Amino acid sequence: MAIPAPEIRPEAKPYWDALAEGRFQIQECKDCNNRFYYARPFCPSCMSRNVAWLPISGNGTIYSFSLVRQKGAIASAPVFVALDDGPTILSALVDCDYDKLAIGQRVKLKLMPSDNGPPIPFFTPA
């Protein structure tokens, strides 16, 4: 499966650069301690621009998921993952038994190569 390379906006370049080095990071507001994802130049909670990058584990729990079928076969499994270290983020599940997925299940980050770009963050059962 060839995953298209992401379009990298300037505010998200540190995020993609870290993924290229195998590190997963989100942003944290230094004024109100809010942790957020996706990358923004300001805190979505208090609008402060005093934000910093925070390396995190990439471990989390399935908050919700769906199975997307094409011609009867499961084509993808979009998921909301509640990260241990912060926000709930949208991604997709890979390398898993679709029949055994459950809300509350533990998952971990799984980086997948993109087409001439940085790796893309997915999740797989822990």
Omega into 38 within 30° of 0, i.e. cis?
yes
Sole window of 1-9, 40-48, 60-68, 97-105 interacting with Zn ion (rule: CB under 5 A): 40-48
Please say whether the beta carbons of 37 and 24 come within 8 A. Answer: no
- Contact segment (CB under 5 A) with Zn ion among 1-9, 38-46, 63-71, 80-88 equals 38-46
- Residue 33 CA to residue 94 CA, distance in Å, equals 31
19 binds Zn ion (CB under 5 A): no
- Type of residue found at 72: G
Location of structure tokens 């301690």: 33
Site string for Zn ion, 41-80 (x = CB under 5 A): --x-xx-x--------------------------------
Q: Which pair of tokens denotes residue 107? A: 């998952």
Q: How far is the CB of 69 from Zn ion (least distance, A)?
A: 40
Could you tell me which residues come within 8 angstroms of residue 4 by beta carbon, excluding any fewer than 6 positions away?
114, 115, 117
Using CB under 5 A as the binding rule, whether residue 34 contacts Zn ion is answered as yes
State in angstroms the smallest separation of the CB of 38 from Zn ion: 15
- Residue number with CB closer to Zn ion (42 or 80): 42
The residue among 45 and 64 lying less far from Zn ion, judged by its C-beta, is: 45
* Contact predicate 112/119, CB 8 Å: yes
CB 74 within 8 A of CB 98: yes
Give the footprint of Zn ion on this chain (CB under 5 A): 29, 31-32, 34, 43, 45-46, 48
